[in-house]
Amino acid sequence: MNMNVFPLVMTPAFRHGSQTPWGGHALKELFGKDTPEDITGESLEVSALPGLESCVSGGEYAGKTLREMHSLWGKSLTGLEGKDFPLLLKFLDTRQPLSVQVHPDDSYALSHEGKLGKSEAWYILDAAPGAELVYGINTRGESLRSVLDAGKLESCLCRTEVHAGDVFYIPAGTVHALGAGIRCYEIQQTSDLTYRLWDWGRVGKDGRPRQLHIEQAIAVSNINSLPVRGETVEKLPGGLRTLLVSDPHFRLYACDLGGRLSLATGKMQFLSATAKGCTLCWEDHRISLLPWQTAVLPAALPEIAVEGRGRILVSSPA
């Protein structure tokens, strides 16, 4: 891991229009993203999904996709063996609620779909007054199938009002749905596997409801319980670092800057500036991140620090 690497400031890819009919205007209006359409639901800040790859925004590798950078830098970038890029980071804006859904774990996904499953976490960036999401399901002792057959699913969904700064850990098997009026940061395994359990009775422009995946959702849902999440706060020179979520696949931290904060090295990290922006410092170099920009920090960086005031979000492989 001795390749000459440096932070990569990313230009996001977008899901928009008919891909995210529930999306809104906030990615452009609040976060300054160059969205392709007014209705844009997702800004994929760090993505190696085919067709939805984020790109390097400037410098000698400007325009190269994350997949190309992974091919070029390999383990020096990710710190991991293997050809697959492990994580996906995106911002979401919900003008309407998303479907009630659940993701399979790796074991089920590999045996039934031939790909990895998905665990994820949400950090709420902004929320309209009274905005809520679905976080878990309580079938009150009945099976999920009997609840569905009786048409009682909506009454069993656990709804939670949300506010900026709230954190939700969503390991595979957790029934969940973002509600309307929420802007959030999502870190997840690189996977597009979603089983839709309920879509609020909505129909598309063709008059048909979207496809549900009832059998798969029943098979993988973890009902009547929610994941345990604990936070660990470290006071460091230059700020505070809080471990928000620890999953077998990723870690999510919030860092509250009060000057210059040195970051641990040896693991790839995704660093997202929030409303105040920040400055990355390594060796004899400095680069500024604008508000809501994200940089990929390669695992092989010998040192890296961040300067600024306010909160940044940092994710890394576990």
Q: Which residues are catalytic?
A: 196
Collect all residues with Cβ–Cβ distance below 8 Å to 44 and sequence separation of at least 6.
12, 13, 14, 15, 52, 54, 88, 89, 90
Please calculate the CA angle 170-161-139 and round it to the nearest 5 degrees: 60
153 residue type, one letter: L
Cα–Cα distances in Å, from 58 out to 62, 64, 107?
4, 9, 39
Cβ neighbours of 203 (radius 10 Å): 10
Residue 54, CB-side half-sphere exposure with 13 Å CA sphere: 29
Q: Where are the alpha helices (DSSP H) in the chain?
A: 26-29, 66-73, 75-78, 106-113, 144-149, 153-156, 214-220
Cβ atoms of residues 122 and 186 within 8 Å? yes
- What is the Cα–Cα distance from 33 to 109, expressed in whole angstroms? 33
- What is the Cα–Cα distance from 202 to 276, expressed in whole angstroms? 39
- What is the Cα–Cα distance from 85 to 10, expressed in whole angstroms? 15
